[in-house]
């Protein structure tokens, strides 16, 4: 099941946003970031009381994910997009 959270959300620099949903499992996170400083973003993913990604660099996750996911990244100076595969949680 694909669930869309946070569509067309604007998040100011040095701020945070939380998008809540109560899944019983989690596999993949799709991101699209548009900003000159998008590569400095940090990602935290929590399923229930289990944190599976805590403050990880979005750029590091993009590079790591592209190693095993057939280069599913789209990077430019002002935007980035990807699908980060976390396996089965």
**How many whole angstroms separate alpha carbon 64 and alpha carbon 59?**
9
The per-residue b/e assignment along 21-42, b for 16 or more CB within 10 angstroms, e otherwise, is eeeeebeebebebeeeebeebe
pLDDT in tens, 46-55: 887 888 888 8
Name which of 30, 35, 44, 27 is nearest 10 in CA terms: 35
pLDDT in tens, 37-71: 777 888 888 887 888 888 888 878 777 766 665 55
The model carries a pTM of: 0.67
**How many whole angstroms separate alpha carbon 47 and alpha carbon 14?**
24
Task: Give the DSSP H/E element, type plus range, for residue 61.
Answer: helix 58-68
Q: Which pLDDT score, from 0 to 100, does residue 26 have?
A: 77
């Amino acid at each position: 099941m694909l669930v869309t959270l946070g569509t067309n959300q604007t998040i100011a620099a040095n701020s945070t946003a939380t998008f809540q949903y109560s899944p019983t499992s989690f596999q993949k996170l799709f991101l699209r970031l548009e900003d000159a400083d998008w590569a400095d973003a940090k990602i935290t993913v929590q399923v229930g009381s289990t944190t599976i990604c805590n403050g990880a660099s979005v750029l590091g996750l993009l590079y790591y994910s592209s190693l095993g996911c057939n280069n599913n990244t789209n990077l430019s100076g002002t935007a980035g997009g990807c699908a980060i595969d976390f396996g089965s949680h």
